A and B are shown apart, each in its own frame.
Chain A
Amino acid sequence: MNILLQAIADGLILGGFYALMAQGLSLIFGIMRIVNLAHGELLIVGAYLAWALQSNLGIGVLWGLPIIALVGFGGGWLLSRTLILRVVDRPQLMPLLLTFGLASVVQGLLVWSFATTPRITTASYSGSVVDVFGIRVSMAQFVMLVLSLVLLGALTVFLQRTKMGRAMTAAAQNREAARIVGIDIGRIYSAAFGLGIAIVFVAGALFSVTQAFHPFMGAVLTLKAFVIVVLGGAGRVGGTLMAAMVVGLAEAFVSAYVPGIGTGLGAATAFILVVLVLAIRPEGISRAKAVA
């Protein structure tokens, strides 16, 4: 078995998942300038939704995805209307504290409804393994990578080609100007927030087939998403994908080549990287001008 190729494959898969996960955060941060600290917890909600649909109603993960995305959008829209829009123009600490409280509530509700027992979603393709020239990845991971890339592509098209998408981009670039040309900022924000949550729900659903999850996993995922958004520059799909791949590959390589250390150090490596990048190049690794 070729360790190098295997590490690359693992890194790409991890990166694909990170990209989709971080894209939800990136969209919201890029457009609303709000850092949603409940991001990871909401990802776990998506995972539990997929699990519940499968084990209670017998709806497979792939069929369940549209439902999960819709629930995510609706939930996100509702959250933005009831809570987020009220703090969007407030000083930085307020949205941070608000979404932090939200994370705590979501976590509590998850524990309350599903207990702390780890779960894993079984899909029709759970048992299969993809084997190309001795590089083996599970079908669940493969599906996750492919769907992540497809969805990120679709999102790019949406942001560039549709009226709503362009309105979002405009609002991200210049809030005042967008308002002047008659864009309803509140509606844009709610749509963006809903879209961000829908994305992270779907990421959670795909993730739930690949590994066990439990209600306390959210915080670490939020932080990783954060790191990727900062590295890639908020709001830009391409930048996010690139940064996610860098983090995914870094983690896979560290865990494949450094003995006695797991992916945890990969995470620390990523954070140290960000601290350095922020200190030296505060605008992010990609040169292009950041949104807003």
Chain B
Amino acid sequence: MTGVPTVRGGEDTPTSKERGSAMLSSEQTSSAPADTSVNTGSKRPSRRPRRKQIVVLGIAVALFAGLYAYPFTGANDSIVLTMSTIFMWIILSTSWNLISGFAGYVDFGHAVHFGIGGYVAGILMVKQDLGFLATLPVVVLVCGLFAAVIGYPLLRLRGVYFSIAMLGAFLAIREIALIATPLTGGARGLVLPPMVNRVWFYYVFLVGAAIMVAAAFWIRRSQYGGALLAIRDDEDGAEARGISTTALKLFTFVLAACITGTVGAFWAYQATFIDPEIMFRDDFLIAVALMATLGGLGTAWGPPVGAVIYLVIQDYVWANDTSNSFLVVFGALLIVLVLVMPEGIAGTVERGDRTVLGRKIQQFKARRTRDESTTEGAR
């Protein structure tokens, strides 16, 4: 690869190996093959559905049905809006998690895709009088192309260098949006045809979030996801094992960009007014990073859980306070999280052998697994 002084070298290696092995063992418990390799295309052994999986699936379906029916219960538009915002951030944090959590390429400029998506939709609606839904194919196309063009060179960089380069791309595109006044309206912004229909957006984001989370679960257990995790833990090793890392990284980056861009387009439509500050937001990165970390990086259910908790906390703190203390509280939360629970909630529950809390839970789980295996006679 490139001659970047790899930040992940040296002393970091033992930790990531340790994490890698911890993860592989958790793979085994869900009966996915430990040694995943895309090129061999080995068939997964058929497995009989476990009771636990049926229960989880049942809960998921019930939850979705409940949420689907929710707006019919006469909920007011404010709550509907709040919930659709939560669904939106579930999609965003999960898509960020694909490239940053699974593949380990921490994207500090992910908001650029959100902004581009919003602007493509906005420009087409305002300047070309297109209907919103008609803009979506163009949004996906432009976001995908942009991601492919910048992703190809930048994904050769590793560690913090990739993060900075993405941040640079984000700021540069924001400047360009500000200067390209004939197209974007510059700092004056664009006023979109107003569409204030909270329930419509509720369903858009609810269904989007459901698909996204289901896809994340599938990816987490598929060979594709296994390959991404392998890249994160040891990219050279993954390459050596025949995983075509360049293609996989680029595909994942483009996929995440298209999803985020599409969400950006919907959000722009909902906001009715966009300018560079609104579409290319500084707080986007903070939000997705905190959600994914809180929930658990590189897990399927971490980011959604993190998004829900983050938004509930944020709403709670902000609703009761106007003194800027939310900055302090919020920052302190992140610090404590990094120090005490770096693997997030999902990580702590699944394989938290490095935290006090996690070890306790693991001991408890280990005992239960032993009980289960004796009764079921499996393993």
Chain A positions within 8 Å of B, measured between CB atoms, are: 33, 35, 83, 86-87, 89-94, 96-98, 100-109, 111-112, 175-176, 219, 223, 226-227, 230, 261, 264-265, 267-268, 271-272, 274-275, 278-280, 282-283, 290, 292
| A274-B168 contact given A105-B327, A107-B327, CB 8 Å threshold | yes
Across chains A and B, which 10 residue pairs bring their CB atoms closest together, nearest first? A108-B327, A104-B331, A101-B334, A268-B175, A108-B328, A271-B168, A105-B331, A279-B153, A101-B335, A101-B331
Residue of A nearest to B154 (CB): A279
The CA of A91 and the CA of B18, in the complex, are separated in Å by 12
Given contacts A89-B12, A219-B282, A274-B168, contact A282 B156 (CB under 8 A): yes
In the complex, what residues of B have CB within 8 A of residue A265's CB? 175, 179
B338, A223: Cβ atoms closer than 8 Å = no
Partner pick for A279 among B156, B179, B323, CB 8 A cutoff: B156
CB distance from A111 to the nearest CB of B (A): 4
Quote the shortest CB–CB distance from A248 to chain B (angstroms): 17
Q: Is the CB of B331 within 8 A of A230?
A: no
B contacts with A: majority SS: helix
Residue of B nearest to A289 (CB): B5
Q: Report if A282-B4 is in contact (Cβ < 8 Å); known contacts: A89-B15, A91-B15.
A: yes
**Which chain B residue shows the least CB distance to A279?**
B153
State which of B106, B108, B168 has its C-beta within 8 Å of the C-beta of A227. Answer: B168
Contact with A along B339-367 (1 / 0, CB 8 A): 10010000000000000000000000000
> What are 8 A-B pairs at a CB distance below 8 A?
A97-B290, A101-B332, A107-B327, A108-B330, A112-B323, A271-B172, A283-B3, A292-B5
Q: What are the interface flags for B273-301 relative to A under an 8 Å C-beta threshold, 1 for contact and 0 otherwise?
A: 00000000010001001100100010000
A152 to B314 Cα, complex, angstroms: 43
Q: How far is the CB of A28 from chain B (nearest CB, A)?
A: 12
A97→B154 contact, CB < 8 A? no
Q: How far is the CB of A186 from chain B (nearest CB, A)?
A: 13
**A93, B106: Cβ atoms closer than 8 Å:** yes
The answer to the question of B133 belonging to the interface, with a C-beta cut-off of 8 Å to chain A, is no
Chain A min CB distance to B370 (Å):
31
Q: Does B167 contact A (CB under 8 A)?
A: yes
Are B324 and A108 in contact, with the CB atoms below 8 A?
A: yes
- Chain B residues with Cβ below 8 Å from A35 are 160, 164
Q: Any chain A CB within 8 A of the CB of B161?
A: yes
Q: Report whether A100 and B12 are in contact in the complex, using a CB–CB cutoff of 8 Å.
A: no
Residue of A nearest to B108 (CB): A96
Chain A residues in 8 Å Cβ range of B168? 223, 227, 271-272, 274-275
CA distance A273 to B85 in the complex (A): 36
> Cβ of A267 and Cβ of B325 under 8 Å apart?
no
Establish whether residues A275 and B156, one from each chain, have CB atoms under 8 Å apart when the complex forms.
Answer: no
The answer to whether residues A283 and B5 also contact, given A96-B106, A101-B331, A108-B324 and a CB cut-off of 8 A, is yes
Distance of A94 Cα from B293 Cα, bound (Å)? 9
B176: which A residues are within 8 A, CB to CB?
268
Query: Are B169 and A275 in contact (CB-based, < 8 A)?
Result: yes
Question: Which of B150, B153, B174, B338 has most chain A Cβ within 10 Å?
Answer: B338
B171: contacting residue among A86, A97, A100, A268, CB under 8 A: A268
Q: A-B contact count, CB below 8 Å?
A: 156
Q: Is B157 an interface residue (CB 8 A)?
A: yes
Cα A89 to Cα B342 with chains together (Å): 13
Smallest Cβ distance from B143 to chain A, in angstroms? 18
Is the pair B339, A111 in contact by a Cβ cutoff of 8 Å? no
Q: Which residue of B lies closest to A108 (CB)?
A: B327
Q: Is B44 among interface residues, defined by CB-CB distance under 8 A?
A: no
Q: Is B163 interfacial (CB-CB < 8 Å)? A: yes
Which listed residue (B108, B165, B286) contacts A278, Cβ 8 A?
Answer: B165
A97 touches B289 (CB 8 A): yes
| Size class of the B contact interface (CB-based, 8 Å) | 35 or more
**B339 contacts A83, C-beta separation under 8 Å:** yes
For A102, give its contact among B108, B329, B335 (CB under 8 Å): B335
A176 lies within 8 A of B15 (CB) = no
| B328 A89 Cβ-Cβ under 8 A | no
Residues in chain B near residue A103, CB distance under 8 A? 331
Is A275's CB under 8 angstroms from B328's CB? Answer: no
Residue with the highest number of chain A CB atoms closer than 10 Å, among B4, B10, B15, B168: B168
Complex interface residues of chain B between 68 and 98 (CB less than 8 A to chain A): none
Interface string of B3-19 (1 = CB under 8 A from A): 11101101110011001
Q: Which residues of chain A come closer than 8 Å to B161, judged between CB atoms?
A: 230, 278, 282
What's the nearest-Cβ distance from chain B to residue A67, in Å?
25
Chain A's nearest CB lies how many Å from the CB of B203? 33
Q: State whether A91 touches B12 (Cβ < 8 A).
A: yes
Which of A97, A176, A292 is in CB contact (< 8 Å) with B338?
A: A97
Q: Given A93-B297, A230-B161, A283 and B4 touching (CB < 8 A)?
A: yes
Smallest CB–CB gap between A226 and chain B, Å?
6
Interchain CA distance A107-B334 in the complex, whole Å:
14
Interchain CB contact under 8 A, B324 and A111: yes
CB distance from A45 to the nearest CB of B (A): 14
**Minimum Cβ distance to chain B for residue A193 (Å):** 16
Q: Give Cα distance in the complex from A267 to B173, angstroms.
A: 12
Do A90 and B342 have beta carbons less than 8 Å apart? yes
Residues in B neighbouring A280, C-beta threshold 8 A: 153
Chain B residues numbered 140-182 whose CB sits less than 8 Å from any CB in chain A? 150, 153-154, 156-157, 159-161, 163-165, 167-169, 171-172, 174-176, 178-179
Contacts of A104 in B (CB 8 A): 286, 327-328, 330-331, 334
Contacting residue for B165 out of A83, A100, A279, A290, CB 8 A: A279
Q: Which residues of chain A are near B2, meaning CB under 8 Å?
A: 282
Asked if residues A100 and B334 are in contact (CB atoms below 8 Å), the reply is yes
Determine the chain B residues whose CB is within 8 A of the CB of A107 once the complex forms: 327, 331
Q: Which residue of A lies closest to B324 (CB)?
A: A111
Contact B175 A267 (CB under 8 A): yes
B333 interface contact, C-beta 8 A: yes
Do B172 and A89 have beta carbons less than 8 Å apart? no
User: Chain B residues with Cβ under 8 A from A176's Cβ?
Assistant: 10-11
Residues on B with beta carbons closer than 8 Å to the beta carbon of A268: 171-172, 174-176
